[in-house]
Amino acid sequence: MGNRCAVIGVGQTRYTTKRRDVSIAGLVREAALRALEDAGLTFKDIDAVVVGKAPDLFEGVMMPEAYLADALGAAGKPMMRVHTAGSVGGSTALVGASLVQGGVHDRVLVVAFEKQSESNATWALSTHLPFNASLVVGAGGYFAPHIREYMRRTGAPDHIGTLVAVKDRLNALKNPYAHLRIPGIDRAMVESTPMLWEPIRYLETCPSSDGACAMVLASEPAVTGTPAWLHGTAMRSEPIFRAGRDTVNPQGGKDCAADVYRQAGVTDPRRQIDVAEVYVPFSWYEPMWLENLGFAAEGEGWKLTESGATALDGDIPWNASGGVLSSNPIGASGLIRFAEAALQVRGMAGEHQVDGARLALGHAYGGGAQFFAMWIVGRERP
C-alpha cells in the first residue's frame, strides 16, 4: 500500500437541486476552502490537485479541470482529472491517495463535483448513437432489470427497497448537507410514489443534485489536525459486455472488496467494520451490495436490511449520512462516501455520528456496475 496516508480535511457544500448563486468554479472552491479550513491549511500548503467529475456532457464544459485550476489554487502545481463514471469520486480520492502513498507528494487536495442543474443527467446518459437501438433510458432504466433479477434470485419481498428508501432519508434529516430532507418520510409515502422504471419507484431513486466535496490527504509527516488513516485502497473494473457477467453480483466488486479487506486485515466485514458509506443510488442496491461486499451471504442481504442492522442504531450502519439516495451530485457522490467514512472515524460526523466508529468503509461504483473504488479508513494508524 506504500507510505501511510491520512485524510486531514473534509469540506462539503450543501447539496441541493440548483445552486444558482455560484458558478462551477465557485462551487468547487466552497468545498475546497472548507476542507482546507478543516485541515488548518491554505492553498499554499497543497502540492497537487486531483479533480473528479462524471461525463463532461452533464455541464457541457469540456475539460473543466483546466478552467478550475484558478479556483482550486492549482496554478504552478500538478493537476489532473479523473473520470470513471459514477465511481469517479471514489477513484479521485484513490488517485490522490496514491500520490501520497507513492511518496510523490505530501499534501494533495482532491475535489469532485457535479452541477446537474446545468442540464439533465438522464438526457446525457441516453445519447443514442446511430445504428444502435439501445432502449436504456438513464441510469434507472439500466439498473431496473438487474434489481428485478436480484428479487427473483433471492425471493426478497417487495418492501425491502422501501425500507432502504425510508432509512436513508431518515438519516438525511440528521445531515445538514443532505439534499433530500423529507419530514415524516415513511413506507406509505414511498409506496405512494409512482413506478418510474418498474421495479423502481420514484422515492427509491436518488435525486439530481448540485454540489461539491473536497478532501485534503497528507503523508504521515505532513499530518495536521485530526487524521483518518487509510488502511486499504482498491479499484477494479470489468468489461460491461462479457458473456456470463453477473450483473447482480459483479465479480469486479467482489475482487475489489477482497483486495481492500486484505490490506486492512478485515476478514469479517460485518463485525470488524463499524460504519459503511456505500454507493446506493437505487434503494435495492443496499441488499445487493451487502452481498457483493461480503456483509451478508449470497441471497441473504435483504434479510440484513429487513432486520434493521443497517439503520443508524443497527450493528452495522450503512449510509448514516443519508447516502446517494439523499444527495447525488453524481461526480462527487463517490467522494462524499469516502469523506463521510473519514468523518466517522475522525468522530466529526455530527448528528449522524456512529458512536465509537473506529473503522469505516467508503465505496463507489459506476458505469453499468463495472467500475469499483473502495477504501477503508481507521482512527488508528495502520
Partner 1 sequence: METSEPLVARHVLEFPGGYTRSTGPVIGRFLTELRAGRIVGVRTAEGRVLVPPLEYDPATGDPVTDDYVEVGPAGTVTASAWVQEPRPEHPLDRPFAWALIRLDGADTALVHAVDAGDPKELRPGTRVRPVWRERREGGITDIACFRPEVTMIVSPVRPEYRIQAGGALRTFLEGVRRGVFLGGRCPGCAKVYVPFRASCPECGSRIAEQVELPDTGTITTFAINNLPDPRAPEVPFVSAYILLDGADIPMIALVGGVPAHEVRQGMRVRAEWVPESERTLSMANVRWFTPTGEEDAELS
Closest to partner 1 by CB, 76 vs 133, is 133
DSSP 228: E
Sole window of 7-15, 136-144, 158-166, 171-179 interacting with partner 1 (rule: CB under 8 A): 136-144
- Closest approach of partner 1 to the CB of residue 307, in Å: 27
Q: Does 148 bind partner 1 (CB under 8 A)?
A: yes
**CA proximity to 362, closest of 55, 7, 35:** 7
Contact residue for partner 1 among 141, 314, 347, 382 (CB under 8 A): 141
**Minimum CB separation from partner 1 for residue 154, in Å?**
13
Q: Report which of 123, 126, 119 is spatially closest to residue 61, judged by C-alpha positions.
A: 119
Contacts with partner 1 by CB under 8 A: the residue count is 34
Residue 69 in the binding site for partner 1 (CB under 8 A): no
Residue 221 touches partner 1, criterion: CB under 8 A? no
Instruction: Write down the H helix ranges in 23-179.
Output: 24-39, 64-68, 88-101, 121-124, 138-154, 160-172
Q: How do strand 48-52 and strand 107-115 relate by DSSP bridges? A: parallel
Sole binder of partner 1 in the list 70, 75, 120, 128 (CB under 8 A): 128
Residue 134 in grid coordinates: 439501445
For CA atoms 190, 194, 196, 199, give the dihedral sign: positive
Residue 21 binds to partner 1 (criterion: CB under 8 A):
yes
The verdict on 75 binding partner 1 (CB under 8 A) reads no
- Binds partner 1 (CB under 8 A): choice among 45, 47, 149, 306: 149
144 contacts partner 1 (rule: CB under 8 A): yes
- Residue placing its CB nearer to partner 1 in the complex, 121 or 357: 121
Among 129, 184, 221, 355, which residue interacts with partner 1 (rule: CB under 8 A)? Answer: 129
Cα–Cα distance list, 361 to 23, 300, 358 (Å): 32, 20, 10
Query: What is the separation of C-alpha 60 from the centre of its chain, rounded to a whole number of angstroms?
Result: 23
CB under 8 A: which stretch of 63-71, 140-148, 257-265, 320-328 binds partner 1?
140-148
Which residues, 6+ apart, have CB-to-CB distance to 107 below 8 Å? 41, 45, 46, 47, 100, 216, 217, 218, 219, 222
Element (H, E) at 372: strand 371-378
The angle at the Cα of 39, spanning 222 to 330, to the nearest 5 degrees, equals 110
Residue 14 interacts with partner 1 (CB under 8 A): yes or no? no
Closest approach, Cβ 282 to partner 1, in A, equals 11
Kind and range of the H or E element at 109? Answer: strand 107-115
Interaction between residue 158 and partner 1 (CB under 8 A): no
- Length in residues, the chain: 382
Q: Which is nearer to partner 1, 47 or 149 (CB)?
A: 149
155 binds partner 1 (CB under 8 A): no
Cα four-point dihedral sign 84, 85, 86, 89: positive
Strand partners, 214: 11, 111
Shortest spacing between CB 245 and partner 1, in angstroms: 8
Residue choice 76, 135, 155, 158 for contact with partner 1 (CB under 8 A): 135
* For partner 1, the closer CB: 42 or 134: 134
Is 79 within 8 Å of 69 (Cβ atoms)? yes
Question: Which cell goes with 107?
Answer: 499534501
Site for partner 1 in 290-349 (CB under 8 A): none
Contact set for partner 1, span 167-196 (CB under 8 A): 194-196
Q: Is 197 near partner 1 (CB under 8 A)?
A: yes
285: contact with partner 1 by CB under 8 A: no
Residues at the interface with partner 1 (CB under 8 A): 20-21, 60, 128-138, 140-141, 144-146, 148-149, 152, 194-198, 200, 239, 241-245
